[in-house]
Amino acid sequence: MPLALTVAFLLAGQDAQETPVTTGTDPGSAVHLQLSGHLDLHYLYRSPAIEDTGAQLNLLAPGTKGSSTQWSGRISLRADIEVKDFVSGVIELENRSFENGINKPFGATPPDTPAEIKQGYIEIGQLLRPELNLRIGVQDVTFRNRPQDEAFFMDLGESGSFWAGFQPVGSFVSNTVDRNITQPVGLRLFYTPFEVTTVQAFWMVVQEQGGTSLDEAVYGLVANTLLAENWSTWILATAVSGGGDRRGTIDTGGYGIDGYVGSAKDLELFAEVYGQGGTLQHAPAAVHKEAYAFNLGARVFVCDCHKLWLEPAVSRRSGDRHPGDDHDQTFQSYQNVNRFVILESHEFGLDVNTNITVIRAALGAGPFDLSGRPLRIQLDVGHFTAVAPIETVGAAGNSRQWGTETDLTFIWSYNQSFALSLKGGWLADSELLKALGGENHALTIVFGADLRF
């Protein structure tokens, strides 16, 4: 009887509710409504030394970072709504698989994977001019030098704070395992003067700290264009301010280029470089920023079948060689690079995202037919060296060697929407891991199931 009364009450109250928005031609209705989603589920095993090392980097006791085995992942649901007069909107909900420095696995007691607003924005097309679009609200801001690569400098919405690792005592930035995601909100303007050229200007608040001067805010201007049929280039300028009391403003300039040589596209060349200046902290004594970063490489297809390729590359993010003086040389960013599952992954590994030189090579093969479905294999080998000593290590860490990591990845695409993956990472000869985590080697294995619709 109580259930019947409840149903009757809800039915009676329907007439009083506001008319829902549906697709159609009536005034106020949506012209187009699209629902999509993503289920990224994975099972993880990692050596305890990885978590112990992460705890030490974050100035915590060993064993306080998280579990060595767990089921985790992200589940998201997105609605794209288009109404009249070139106005559209996006609402996207997603759980966070890590936050505040720790993983948030499924099956926790109590459950700790609530859905949050991933994106929620309104876009106005052809604002004042046909070439001008304005986006307002919670939104990801991502810039990649290569379409198939990860963001080396900026991926707002998939990265932590710009000030992660900042140490007030001594006024320098150190390596930390952040495992955090911010929620950028603000304005983003798109201007397309030519079909092959786009200019973006944006203002985003990444972390709300109360007072306006304390908010972590990002201001940016980015222009990208096609130079020729197979070449693209871009230029970037950003300023990050706030984030804490007496913090300064860090300015970054960047340039990148990516393209293919020859009509067969057998050789790809890519490069991106950055320089940073500004003021890290105003008081008690001013500390100025002098940092740089670069990522250079090439990909060559070994055979005409385009099923075997080799990619050598080198990257560096500068580190502070003299902490405590009036200059900080640590390169800061909103990067989202997770190629190597132990040293680079911000969800599974140590999130080594600054003060690092990486010399790497990748070998890719496929697709190969496996039961009528494509299988791709990739082998990544990288040697990691700290540019400056890791301050957290102290007297035990005279070495700058993070070691050599080898990752092997299998991806079996069941269809266009669903894929299974298996990735293993092995870190060897790591003197820094030995100093921080007690072992000079580590293993991580990740099994994944990924569905997009």
Q: CA-CA distances (angstroms) from residue 192 to 231, 259, 278, 289, 422? A: 18, 21, 30, 33, 41
Radius of gyration of the chain (CA): 24
Residue 331 confidence (pLDDT) above 80: yes
Residue 187 confidence (pLDDT) above 70: yes
**Average pLDDT over all residues of the chain:** 88
Q: Which of 48, 65, 133 is nearest to 99 (CA)?
A: 65
- pLDDT band per the 50, 70, 90 thresholds, residue 189: very high
Residue 107: CB atoms within 10 Å: 10
Contact 172, 356 (CB under 8 A): no
Tell me the per-residue pLDDT of 252-272, one tens digit each, with 9 for 90 and over: 999 999 999 988 899 999 999
**Average pLDDT score over residue span 442-446:** 97
| CA–CA gap between residue 383 and residue 363 (Å, rounded) | 15
Paired strand residues for 39: 75, 451
| CA–CA gap between residue 49 and residue 68 (Å, rounded) | 9
Residue 9 confidence (pLDDT) above 50: no
Angle at CA of residue 439, ends 380 and 101, nearest 5°? 75
Q: CA-CA distances (angstroms) from residue 354 to 270, 298, 408, 428, 451? A: 20, 22, 24, 20, 32
| CA–CA gap between residue 360 and residue 347 (Å, rounded) | 21
Residue 13 confidence (pLDDT) above 70: no
> Which phi and psi angles does 432 have, rounded to 5°?
-70, -40
Contact 245, 213 (CB under 8 A): no
With tokens 């289920």, the residue in question is: 39
Contact 388, 320 (CB under 8 A): yes
> Looking at residue 5, what is its pLDDT?
41
Residue 236 confidence (pLDDT) above 90: yes
> Looking at residue 436, what is its pLDDT?
85
Tell me the per-residue pLDDT of 42-75, one tens digit each, with 9 for 90 and over: 999 999 999 888 888 877 766 545 558 999 999 9
**More confidently predicted of 282 and 29:** 282
Q: Which of 434, 445, 447, 446 is nearest to 49 (CA)?
A: 434
**Average pLDDT score over residue span 421-426:** 98
Residue 210 confidence (pLDDT) above 50: yes
Paired strand residues for 46: 444
> Looking at residue 268, what is its pLDDT?
97
Q: Which of 450, 375, 369, 373 is nearest to 417 (CA)?
A: 450
| CA–CA gap between residue 279 and residue 250 (Å, rounded) | 6
The type of residue at 90 is V
Tell me the per-residue pLDDT of 394-420, one tens digit each, with 9 for 90 and over: 544 567 899 999 999 999 999 999 999
The type of residue at 143 is F
Q: Provide the token pair at 307.
A: 């099923």
**Residue 162, helix vs strand vs coil:** coil
Residue 432 confidence (pLDDT) above 60: yes
| CA–CA gap between residue 271 and residue 293 (Å, rounded) | 11
Contact 131, 174 (CB under 8 A): no
Tell me the per-residue pLDDT of 340-380, one tens digit each, with 9 for 90 and over: 999 999 899 999 999 999 999 999 999 999 999 999 999 99
Dihedral angle computed from the Cα positions of residues 277, 154, 177 and 392, in that order, rounded to the nearest 10 degrees: -20
Contact 290, 276 (CB under 8 A): yes
Tell me the per-residue pLDDT of 88-147, one tens digit each, with 9 for 90 and over: 999 999 998 888 777 889 988 888 888 899 999 999 999 999 999 999 999 999 999 999
**Average pLDDT score over residue span 75-79:** 97
Percentage of the chain modeled with pLDDT above 70: 88
Contact 223, 197 (CB under 8 A): yes
Residue 17 confidence (pLDDT) above 90: no
| CA–CA gap between residue 276 and residue 317 (Å, rounded) | 11
> Looking at residue 285, what is its pLDDT?
82
| CA–CA gap between residue 104 and residue 146 (Å, rounded) | 31
| CA–CA gap between residue 116 and residue 248 (Å, rounded) | 31
**Average pLDDT score over residue span 419-447:** 94
